[in-house]
């Protein structure tokens, strides 16, 4: 069975074609700068990386271009589109309605659109992707896999905010969490990697550390808490997002800087985090370079960044009554030993004992980086959200 995975953003579409007979990626790529004059498509196929400038005015044209790349020219991997068996979509905010992946129907799309207020940049783009596929291949089954679904097992005392309850009833104001597909994948994969057959009795903390970053507490295979909230702004310090901040500081800044809500959102989401503290670097690799050059703001950004991760690990160990496994994933989590070192330094009281050499040598591969006698296993598990989406799509479509 051949399944196409689509991840539609506001101005981009990422894709991957899977042969689910062996779970292999046939080809992958993405379109960037949709709606702009300098839009282009990147393609990975047969060991080659290709980039082509192509006019892509909107998402339907983008999906059409991806279909054309799959079936036409020297890089084609399908004879025609009817070789596709299904399409799986990354859907960002499913609210409380979706606690698992579903076959997309008109009713599902109505319920998903009702969540647009909770993710005004992402959900409408996801809807455009579904509609684009429907316009071009009206009979093909499509499956929605929601970023928020994995976190729907959180108890109410973990997801509620201490604001007037009527705000939850009227507007759904609560913690939802994101990166759920990644947290679900790595929390399950690490058990397989360590040879643990049952999820019952396990206490896992998953750290998805990239430009966007979040942590989840996973007990008995189910999420019981996560760091992102109503929006992806809450929680860890990120590339350009502030993470946790006193709401009083927010109103203070608005008054002093004369900001409206749009200006404040731009400040906290796009001008803060590593970028704001360091004075110009949002990528952790650039932060490390800045430290080497003697930039003390870069040093401060690094220490704040890893300290926040460590604090959340401690919180979630307390929430679960302990921790058996800590998993690092995401761009920085998989590749930067400095992040993992800073985030675990001082956690010996929890039973964490790192192997310095293993940690320094690990880059983007499945590996245990804690010492052999560490009570808590610390592992690196590269995430694979696209495979998770393809697998969910296969499971749902196979039952039709």
CA distance 45 to 346: 44
CB atoms under 10 Å from CB of 356, counted, come to: 11
Helix (H, G, I), strand (E, B) or coil at 368: strand
Helices assigned H by DSSP within the chain: 59-71, 106-113, 123-136, 156-159, 165-171, 180-193, 247-257, 261-270, 273-278, 284-292, 296-320, 330-335, 337-344, 356-361, 385-397
Q: Is-contact 350 314, C-beta < 8 A?
A: yes
CA distance 291 to 269: 24
CA distance 246 to 274: 18
Q: Of 80, 147, 225, 373, which is the active-site residue?
A: 147
Q: Is-contact 309 236, C-beta < 8 A?
A: yes
Q: Is-contact 369 354, C-beta < 8 A?
A: yes
Closest CA to 277 of 256, 314, 252, 305: 305
Whether 220 is catalytic is no
Map tokens 């799959």 to a residue: 70
Which residues on adjacent β-strands are paired with residue 354?
370
DSSP letter, residue 150: G
Closest CA to 336 of 210, 205, 183: 210
Side-chain half-sphere of 396: how many Cα atoms within 13 Å?
22
Q: Which pairs from 43-46 meet CB under 8 Å and 24+ separation?
A: 43/69, 43/75, 45/75, 45/77, 46/75
Residues serving a catalytic function are 147
């Amino acid at each position: 069975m051949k399944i196409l995975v689509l991840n539609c953003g506001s101005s981009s579409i990422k894709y991957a074609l899977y042969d689910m007979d062996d779970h292999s990626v046939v080809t992958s790529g993405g379109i960037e700068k949709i709606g702009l004059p300098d839009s282009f498509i990147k393609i990975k196929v047969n060991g080659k990386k290709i980039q082509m400038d192509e006019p892509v005015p909107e998402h339907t044209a983008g999906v059409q271009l991806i279909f054309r790349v799959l079936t036409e020219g020297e890089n084609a991997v399908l004879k025609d589109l009817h070789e596709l068996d299904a399409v799986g979509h990354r859907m960002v905010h499913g609210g409380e309605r979706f606690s698992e992946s579903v076959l997309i129907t008109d009713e599902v799309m109505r319920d998903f659109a009702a969540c647009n207020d909770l993710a005004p940049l992402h959900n409408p783009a996801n809807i455009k992707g579904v509609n684009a596929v429907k316009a071009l291949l009206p009979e093909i089954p499509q499956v929605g896999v929601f970023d928020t679904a994995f976190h729907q097992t959180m108890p109410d005392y973990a997801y509620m905010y201490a604001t007037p309850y009527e705000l939850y009833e009227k507007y759904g104001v609560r913690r939802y969490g994101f990166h759920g597909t990644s947290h679900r994948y790595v929390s399950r994969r690490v058990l397989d990697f360590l040879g643990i057959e049952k999820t019952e009795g396990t206490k896992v903390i998953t750290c998805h550390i990239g430009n966007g970053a979040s942590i989840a507490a996973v007990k008995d295979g189910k999420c019981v808490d996560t760091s992102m909230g109503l929006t992806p702004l809450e929680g860890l310090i990120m590339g350009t997002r502030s993470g946790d901040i006193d709401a009083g500081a927010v109103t203070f800044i608005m008054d002093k800087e004369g900001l409206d809500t749009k200006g404040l959102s731009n400040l906290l989401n796009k001008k803060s985090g590593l970028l704001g503290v360091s004075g110009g670097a949002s990528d952790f690799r650039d932060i490390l370079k800045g430290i080497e050059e003697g930039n003390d703001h870069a040093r401060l950004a690094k220490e704040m960044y890893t300290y926040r991760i460590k604090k959340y690990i401690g919180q979630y160990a307390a929430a679960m009554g302990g921790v058996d496994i800590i998993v690092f994933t995401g761009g920085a989590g998989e590749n930067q030993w400095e992040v993992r070192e800073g985030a675990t330094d001082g956690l010996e009281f929890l039973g964490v004992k790192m192997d310095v050499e293993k940690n320094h040598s690990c880059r983007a591969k499945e590996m245990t980086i804690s010492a052999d006698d560490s009570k808590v296993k610390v592992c690196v598990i590269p995430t694979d959200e696209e495979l998770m989406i393809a697998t969910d799509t296969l499971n749902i479509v196979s039952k039709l």
